[in-house]
Amino acid sequence: MSAPAEAALDALRKALGDGLQSCSLDGGTLRLQVASASLHQAALHLRDADGLRFDYPGDLFAWDTGERFVVVYRLWSTTLSQTALLRVELEREGAAVASVTDIWPGMNWHEREVYDLYGIEIVGHPDAGDPTRMRILLPKDWEGFPFRKDYVPVFSGDPLHGPQETN
């Protein structure tokens, strides 16, 4: 990675302090793990710093390891053709993460989907706090978050408005 990139990463380390949990580079892909409190700052830095310039919101998704949620931001730089995987681990209880929609407008629907499927609160999202507007793939009155490992489908009696039994 180029010298400005190294400088930018050093600046990021300095700015985040303990917030930056790990930072490694393998084969042109920058892998970062940050504390959820530092996420927004890190994201802004990744987009704006010289040598990083991750201007393209590639993807945003989460998964449930059983103990905690992992949220991954896949970023890309259109000018420097490099990828960054920005990772945040969240405790299951009261999982919340800052919205990056103000940094990359393209993350808006991805964040809604993360809320929809995993119930991770997106703090600062334009639709935050209103589940009927945050729900995106599921009906707005759906109860529960079906991609969580502990999600138990229950038949609500109405096949159109509620989870169905799987077998």
> What residues line the site for another protein (CB under 8 A)?
55-59, 61, 63-65, 72, 74, 78, 81, 104-109, 135-139, 146-147
Residue 156: partners with Cβ closer than 8 Å, 6 or more residues away: 162, 163
CA–CA gap between residue 103 and residue 123 (Å, rounded): 14
- For residue 81, the minimal CB distance to another protein (Å) is 6
Instruction: Name which of 74 and 121 has its Cβ closer to another protein.
Output: 74
Instruction: Name which of 105 and 129 has its Cβ closer to another protein.
Output: 105
- For residue 153, the minimal CB distance to another protein (Å) is 10
CA–CA gap between residue 116 and residue 6 (Å, rounded): 37
CA–CA gap between residue 40 and residue 99 (Å, rounded): 7
- For residue 10, the minimal CB distance to another protein (Å) is 26
